[in-house]
Amino acid sequence: MAVNKYGVGDPLESESIIAKNPFVVPLPPNAPEVSAITKDSMIVVWERPASDGGSEILGYVLEKRDKEGIRWTRYLRKIVNVRAVGQDLKVEIPISGRPKPTVTWTKDDQPLKQTTRVNVSDLPNLTVLNIKETNKEDSGMYGITVANVIGQKSTSVEIITLDKPDPPRGPVKFDDISAESITLSWSPPLYTGGCQITNYIVHKRDTTTTVWETVSAAVARTTLKVTKLKTGSEYQFRIFAENRYGQSFALESEPIVAQYPYKEPGPPDTIVVNAGEMFKLEADVHGKPLPTIKWFKGDKEVEETARCEIKNTDFKALVIVKDAIRVDGGQYILQASNIAGTKSVPVNVKV
């Protein structure tokens, strides 16, 4: 309703709407595997879920059931996410026991190396891990074991540093090269920044300039077909990985020319034929646009006669010579031409 000095106007009603939380629970973890089984313990390993529900994973709950299938026992594995590298981190773990237990820390199953930046302090009822100015190397699984004469207990805390990812891994591979397009492929970064890669960004530049153009800023996979290239131009590409915390440095490709991957012809083949026999000169021909095809013998273009038939099609070059005689011997040259250039392939005939 609107209000002025004369009063309140008529109301305008909105459509009904239900308040919804944009976040959902995460999907289940993937591919659990059990190993190192003994009579007292086993190791259970799993992969992060495909979706975190829009919020960082804070931990995992592992439940086991007795052999009767009645009683469940629950285990909690905690995860500490560092919002950004460079922040200080303090992890406090409550401890208790009589007599007072000793505390041992490990990182990735190795004794934790304490420094002025990474250190542990033990209080009467707490053990505290302090990390100053965290970096991506601080990510990992930290184990805490408390022990006294009565026994020992262990738990673990996973620390994940959240940051922009490392560059994609190279080298950049070139597949399906043509005069107008090139398909690129690369490998994901080793360090993803502690979360999923959301997309890749691909730039290109003509090597005659210093200007980079965006080919695509939303590449979901580690491959992309780049089209609309200029025939005969040399290009360089660079690829960035991106996650929710930012964009990586670039992986740069080697320069590549947009053209069909022609091979220079090798030494001429020799066809040996007996006088009076028929012989064929045949070759597959490819190009875009389709090339025109000509046959030469020496420096003269081969012409059709009663004994010589030429059958050139879009993708095939063919010469048929009937009743060969000695003058039919010599070097024949197949020539294919289009706007991208001309290629010639020789072949010798010996009668």
CATH number at residue 229: 2.60.40.10
Same domain for 121 and 91, yes or no, is yes
Cα-based angle 254, 256, 261 (whole degrees, multiple of 5): 135
Domain assignment present for 298: yes
Same domain for 183 and 115, yes or no, is no
CA–CA separation, 146 and 247 (whole Å): 41
Q: What is the pLDDT of residue 19?
A: 46
Last residue of a domain, one of 103, 126, 161: 161
Per-residue pLDDT of 104-149, as tens digits, reads 999 999 999 999 999 999 888 889 999 999 988 898 889 999 999 9
Examine the pLDDT at 5 and tell me if it is beyond 60.
no
Same domain for 243 and 295, yes or no, is no
Same domain for 148 and 191, yes or no, is no
Domain assignment present for 206: yes
Same domain for 236 and 276, yes or no, is no
Examine the pLDDT at 216 and tell me if it is beyond 70.
yes
Domain assignment present for 138: yes
Q: What is the pLDDT of residue 18?
A: 46
> Domain residues for 238?
169-257
Q: What percent of the chain has pLDDT over 90?
A: 34
pLDDT band at residue 271 under the 50/70/90 scheme? confident
Same domain for 176 and 154, yes or no, is no
pLDDT band at residue 324 under the 50/70/90 scheme? confident
Same domain for 209 and 246, yes or no, is yes
Q: What is the pLDDT of residue 80?
A: 57
Same domain for 173 and 252, yes or no, is yes
Examine the pLDDT at 39 and tell me if it is beyond 80.
no
Domain assignment present for 306: yes
Query: Considering its fold, how many domains does the chain have in total?
Result: 3
Predicted TM-score (pTM) above 0.75: no
Q: Is the peptide bond before 289 cis (omega within 30 degrees of 0)?
A: yes
Same domain for 173 and 157, yes or no, is no
Per-residue pLDDT of 230-260, as tens digits, reads 988 999 999 999 998 899 999 999 999 988 7
Higher-scoring residue by pLDDT: 21, 59: 59
Q: What phi and psi values does residue 214 have, to the nearest 5 degrees?
A: -80, 120
Coil, strand or helix at 205: strand
Residue 346 belongs to what H/E stretch?
Answer: strand 341-350
Higher-scoring residue by pLDDT: 57, 326: 326
Per-residue pLDDT of 174-199, as tens digits, reads 988 888 999 999 999 998 988 889 99
Other beta carbons within 10 angstroms of residue 264's beta carbon come to: 6
Structure tokens at 298: 């020496």
Examine the pLDDT at 70 and tell me if it is beyond 60.
no
Domain assignment present for 67: no
Domain assignment present for 54: no
Same domain for 274 and 346, yes or no, is yes
Last residue of a domain, one of 257, 278, 295: 257
Residue 182 burial (CB < 10 Å; 0-12/13-18/19+)? buried
Q: What is the pLDDT of residue 316?
A: 86
Same domain for 111 and 152, yes or no, is yes
Domain assignment present for 201: yes
Q: What percent of the chain has pLDDT over 70?
A: 77
Give exposure, 325-334, as e/b (b: 16+ Cβ within 10 Å): eeebbeebbb
Other beta carbons within 10 angstroms of residue 165's beta carbon come to: 26
Mean pLDDT value across residues 54-66: 65
Q: What is the pLDDT of residue 283?
A: 87
Last residue of a domain, one of 215, 231, 257: 257
Q: What is the pLDDT of residue 9?
A: 60
Q: What is the pLDDT of residue 3?
A: 56
Q: What is the pLDDT of residue 273?
A: 87
Domain assignment present for 235: yes
pLDDT band at residue 160 under the 50/70/90 scheme? confident
Same domain for 176 and 250, yes or no, is yes
